[in-house]
Amino acid sequence: MSKYRVWLLLVLCNLFWAGNYVFGKFVVSEMTPLGLTFTRWLFASVILMVTAHFWEKPEWSKVLKDWPSLIGLAVFGLMGYNLLLYYALHFTSPTNASLVNSFNPGLIAVVSAVYLREKVSRMQVFGILVSFLGVLSIMTNGNLLKVFTMNYNSGDVLMILAVISWTVYSMIGKKLTSVPPITSTALSGVIAALIMAPFALSQGLDLASLSPVAMTGVAYIAIFPSVCSFIFWNLGVREIGASKAGIFLNLNPVFTASISWLLGQRITAVQVLGGLLVFAGVYITTGMFGKTILRKRAF
């Protein structure tokens, strides 16, 4: 797969995840986070299993031998991250949630360097800092000193835990090279749905009572962030590594702000500038200046 196709997949991956923040905010006002997460993976795993069977044609008996890693993917990525995200959206806005989530690339890069022994060049570090500066600019409305005086609510704390959960998921996914990406996402989706089923059903699920907006949100979340984004993410991590793929997560707040603008919210000049810095950081960190620059000096 060409590097440009990988970059496109990771951009689309984060565009769909940005929609997850916005729609998730609407849905959790009518549905519990557990109910939403269960419903999401119940439907998504069926689509993924069919896709995996006909596209990747895995040898299921061999695949199931990696069940410990598949359970890890289900617990940390499909259940842990999403449950924490949807509970966080009870207390914070989609934009705030996506901004806190932007701490993820730096954490992934550090953990990848330590745990996976991935090399991190000086140019990549510079790209991470530029992108993170853009996130801080959006977060503080251009006043960077605000970052030291902000009052963090419980939603922000839950999102930090979600970031940690996603980092663990990324490390497991990078190590699980014996299972095709769509197959691993499909099976971990099935495992996640099975684990959550008794708890979600005990709460009671009444999808018919949801408003049209909430129903649209559930359908969107089950298809685009669940099926498309997870496939694109796993493909990206395996092609270019967790640390480089992780920097694309900084596109989340940019896309979230853009979707909010389309829904009628005002976008400021500071947000535009911050978005440009985020894109610049992605541009630098992914090596679009050329592989030789990124490999000159590695830590």
| Residuewise pLDDT in 10s, the chain (299 residues) | 777 889 899 999 999 989 999 899 889 989 999 999 999 999 999 999 999 998 889 888 888 889 999 999 999 999 999 999 999 998 888 877 887 777 777 777 777 777 777 677 778 778 778 877 877 777 676 777 767 666 656 787 898 899 899 889 888 887 888 888 889 889 999 999 999 999 999 988 888 888 998 999 999 999 999 999 878 887 888 788 866 787 787 788 888 878 877 887 777 787 778 778 877 877 776 665 444 333 333 32
Distances (CA, A) of 53 to 41, 45, 67, 189: 17, 12, 18, 15
Bridge partners, residue 298, by sequence: 121
Where in the chain are the domains?
A: 3-119+151-241
Per the DSSP assignment, residues forming a β-bridge with 121 are 298
Q: Residue 203: what residue type?
A: Q
- Structural contact between residues 83 and 33, judged by C-beta atoms closer than 8 angstroms: yes
Rounded to two decimals, the pTM is: 0.78
